[in-house]
Each structure stands twice: as C-alpha cells, then as structure tokens.
C-alpha cells in the first residue's frame, strides 16, 4: 500500500495555518468587541460576546479542516468523512452558542422586565436542555443515523427508566408544578410548616434552596415542598401588618393610651426604616381586659417581613419612653391570695 506523504502533509499544513490564522483573527476580533461593549450601556452585547466565545473556537477548527480538505487530493470516501466531521463540529458549536445565548437572554430579560416568571435553575436548565437535545438529533440526522428507532427504543426503555428514577422524576415534575403555579417564587420569604423560614434562593430540578435569616441554607426536595403547608409572606404583596400588643394599668385612661400610641407610631414613620404610613397606624382595645392590665394592640404596616423586627424594636423603646413621660403605668402581673386557717377538729 503506497502512502502519498506529500498528499497528506500539504493539506495538514494548510489546515494548521488556516486554523492558526483564524485563531489570531478571533482573538483580535474579541478584543475589539470587548472594548466596544464596555462603551455601551446595554448588557445585550456582553451576553452575545460571552455566548459566542467558546463556539467560535470550533468554527476556527472547522474552517481549518475545510481548507485542508479543499486543497487535498484525498479519495472521495475520506472527503465524505471529513465533510461529515466538519458539519458535526459546526452544528455542535451552533447548538452550544444558541443554548447559551437563549438562556442568558431569557434570564436577563425576565430580571429586567420584572415579569412574574421565575428565572430558576430548573427553568434555565429546561430551556438549554431542549435546545441541546434538538441539536443532538440534528447531528444524528447529518451522520445518517435514523432517529426513529432511537425514539422507539427510548419509548420502550422509558418505563424502566421511570421506575428506576421515580424519586428523581417526582421531584422534577413537582418543581415544574411549583414554577407553573407561581405559589413560591425565587426571592420570596416563606415559612415551612416545620418552622424553617427564609428566602427562596433557587428551585432546581430536584430541590428547593431556602436561605434562612442566620445565613444557613435549608435544602428541601421539591416533592416534599409541594405537599407542605407553606406561608408565603410575599403574596399577595410584600407589605404586611405589624401587630404590637401593649398592656397598661387599669388606672389608665384608654382614650389617652390610644392617642399616645398613635402619635408615637405616626412620628416614627419615615424615621424607622421599613415602617409605612399608608394606611395610617391605628389602635384597637384588643384583647381587652386582661388579668392584670388593659390590653391594647397597635397595628401598623411594614414594607416586608424582615422589617418588622427593627420596627418593633424601635417602636417599643419610643412607647416606653413616652409612657414614662405621660405617667402611664405598665403593670406587673399580680395575684390576690386568700389564706384560710384550718381549725383543729375536736377529738
């Protein structure tokens, strides 16, 4: 078997030189594009540049191979194989670029437009996964592999896979259900029936991550979360009522107590972060007559759940100082105890 080394060496050198030149041109082009993107205010150009940075490497290789094959005198059989390889490289690179670009544009657009659509890892993964699967099927078609038997085999084996991955699939579809229902969204502050509470960090294909206020992470399977009783403090809106119980002495004037509480709450609006003045704070004589005190409830609005802690802290200090100035007593619990002396029975 005679091997034409010249017929192989020259196309290989041509392919390497062409690929090298394309790499150099790519490097210069991306430097210029980065400088141009830095001068623009929109993030769309940055997203495009990042999405095409890796796929462009495959394009340089494909162009080098194409030029090498074009100048070669290889048999048609080998040219056919090289052409298939070039087509697969191009399709793979375009699939990766499309998946990255669509995913980043989706996430950026949703965050910018503030639409009530969750940009979670699950939604992002489904979008990219769909594009990658389509690209994979196209590559099989280009390679001459019929996808009909493959789909049939997947359908037959799907039952066995579903049984083997029952727990995983349950969590996957539970996560999709949570996303579609929108009862729990990324960024919401929720409380589980088990007592844990915190911000929803992400909803992935298997679990939901909740960051608690002490900065710990609670990881709960989607199937468990979908079956739990969950309190969402961000639905229907973030603002919520803050109820502060206050007890005063029975010798206090209820009208005066109510006036003092409302005055202090109104003065605190704008001074305490998160405390809202619309609707205006008000007081109710509830629960009412306690064992040792007259019990009132100050009701005001805070911007969101976590604002209640500092608002209560500051309001209680202000109310305590004002009560001392106004001579309103906060009583201690007391009990009246009657002692009965038992007489000695006659023997």
Per-residue model confidence as pLDDT tens digits over 198-244: 999 988 888 899 999 999 999 999 999 988 899 999 998 999 999 99
Residue 45 class from Cβ within 10 Å (0-12 exposed, 13-18 middle, 19+ buried)? middle
**DSSP assignment of 88-116, as one string?**
HHHHHHHHHHHHHHHHHHHHHHHHHHT-S
pLDDT at 71: 75
Average pLDDT estimate for 153-172: 65
What integer pLDDT is reported at residue 104 of this predicted model?
75
Q: Which two tokens stand for residue 52?
A: 């095409």
* C-alpha to C-alpha distance for 95 and 102, rounded to whole angstroms: 10
The mean pLDDT of the chain is 81
Asked if 254 and 294 count as a contact pair (C-beta separation under 8 A), the reply is yes
Tokens of 6: 């010249």
Q: Which CATH number fits domain 240-326: 3.40.50.970, 3.20.20.70, 3.40.605.10, 3.30.70.100?
A: 3.30.70.100
Q: Is the pTM of this model over 0.85?
A: no
Confidence class of residue 272 from pLDDT cuts 50, 70 and 90? Answer: very high
Question: What is the model's pLDDT at position 123?
Answer: 66
Band (pLDDT 50/70/90 cuts) for residue 135 is confident
Dist. CA 272–CA 277, nearest whole Å: 11
User: What band does 165 get if pLDDT is binned at 50, 70 and 90?
Assistant: low
Three-class DSSP labels, 57-73: HHHHHHHHHHHHHHHCC
- Please report which helix (H) or strand (E) contains residue 283, including its range: strand 282-289
The residues, ordered by sequence, that sit 6+ positions from 60 with a Cβ below 8 Å of its Cβ are: 19, 22, 23, 26
* CATH number corresponding to 175-232: 2.30.30.60
> What are the residues whose beta carbons fall under 8 Å from the beta carbon of 4, sequence distance 6 or more?
73
Ranges of each domain in the chain: 5-145, 175-232, 240-326
Q: Which residues 6+ apart lie within 8 Å of 209 measured at CB?
A: 200, 201, 202, 203, 217, 218, 219
Q: SS3 of 206, please?
A: coil
Rounded distance between C-alpha atoms, residue 104 and residue 54, angstroms: 15
> How does pLDDT run across 22-63, given as a tens digit for each residue?
888 888 888 888 788 777 777 777 777 777 777 888 888 888
**Which residues have a Cβ under 8 Å from the Cβ of 229 and sit 6 or more positions away?**
192, 193
Buried-exposed string 22-34: b where 16+ CB fall within 10 A, e elsewhere: beeebeeeeeebe
The predicted-structure confidence for 73-96, as pLDDT tens digits, reads as follows 777 777 777 788 888 888 888 888
User: For 95-127, what is each residue's pLDDT tens digit?
Assistant: 888 887 877 777 766 666 554 444 456 666 777
Q: What's the pLDDT at 200?
A: 93
Higher pLDDT, 163 or 325: 325
The percentage of the chain sitting over the pLDDT mark of 90, rounded to a whole number, equals 33
Residue range 266-270: average pLDDT?
Answer: 92
Q: Are 186 and 200 in contact (CB under 8 A)?
A: yes
Q: Report d(CA 243, CA 24) in Å as an integer.
A: 67
Does position 269 have pLDDT exceeding 70, yes or no? yes
Going by C-beta distance under 8 Å and a sequence separation of 6 or more, which residues neighbour residue 122?
Answer: 172, 175, 176, 179, 203, 204, 205
182 torsion bin: left (phi>0), alpha (psi -120 to 50), beta (else)? left
Structure tokens at 224: 């468990």
């Amino acid at each position: 078997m005679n091997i034409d080394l010249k017929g192989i060496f020259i196309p290989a050198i041509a392919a390497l030189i062409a690929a090298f030149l394309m790499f150099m041109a790519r490097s210069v082009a991306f430097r210029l594009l980065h400088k141009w993107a830095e001068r623009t205010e929109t993030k769309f150009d940055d997203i495009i540049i990042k999405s095409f940075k890796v796929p462009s490497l495959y394009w340089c290789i494909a162009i080098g191979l194409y030029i090498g094959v074009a100048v070669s005198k290889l048999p048609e059989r080998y040219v056919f194989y090289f052409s298939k390889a070039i087509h697969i490289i191009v399709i793979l690179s375009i699939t990766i670029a499309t998946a990255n670009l669509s995913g980043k544009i989706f996430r950026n657009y949703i965050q910018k437009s503030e639409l009530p659509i969750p940009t979670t890892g699950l939604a992002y993964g489904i979008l990219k996964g769909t594009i990658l699967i389509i690209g994979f099927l196209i590559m099989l078609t280009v390679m001459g592999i019929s996808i009909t038997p493959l789909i049939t085999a997947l359908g037959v084996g799907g039952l066995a896979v579903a049984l083997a991955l029952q727990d995983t699939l349950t969590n996957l579809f539970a996560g999709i259900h949570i996303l579609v229902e929108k009862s729990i969204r990324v960024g919401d502050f929720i409380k589980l029936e088990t007592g844990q509470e915190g911000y929803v960090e992400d909803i992935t294909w298997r679990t939901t991550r909740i960051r608690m206020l002490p900065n710990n992470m609670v990881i709960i399977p989607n199937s468990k979360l979908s079956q739990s009783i969950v309190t969402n403090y961000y639905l229907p809106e973030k603002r919520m009522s803050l109820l502060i119980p206050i007890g005063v002495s029975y010798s206090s004037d209820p009208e005066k107590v109510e006036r003092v509480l409302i005055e202090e709450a109104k003065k605190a609006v704008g001074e305490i972060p998160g405390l809202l003045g619309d609707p205006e704070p008000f007081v109710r004589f509830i629960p009412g007559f306690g064992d040792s005190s007259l019990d009132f409830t100050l009701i005001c609005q805070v911007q969101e759940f976590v604002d209640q802690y500092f608002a209560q802290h500051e309001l209680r200090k202000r109310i305590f100082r004002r009560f001392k100035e106004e001579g309103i007593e906060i009583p201690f619990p007391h009990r009246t105890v009657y002692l009965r002396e038992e007489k000695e029975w006659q023997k």
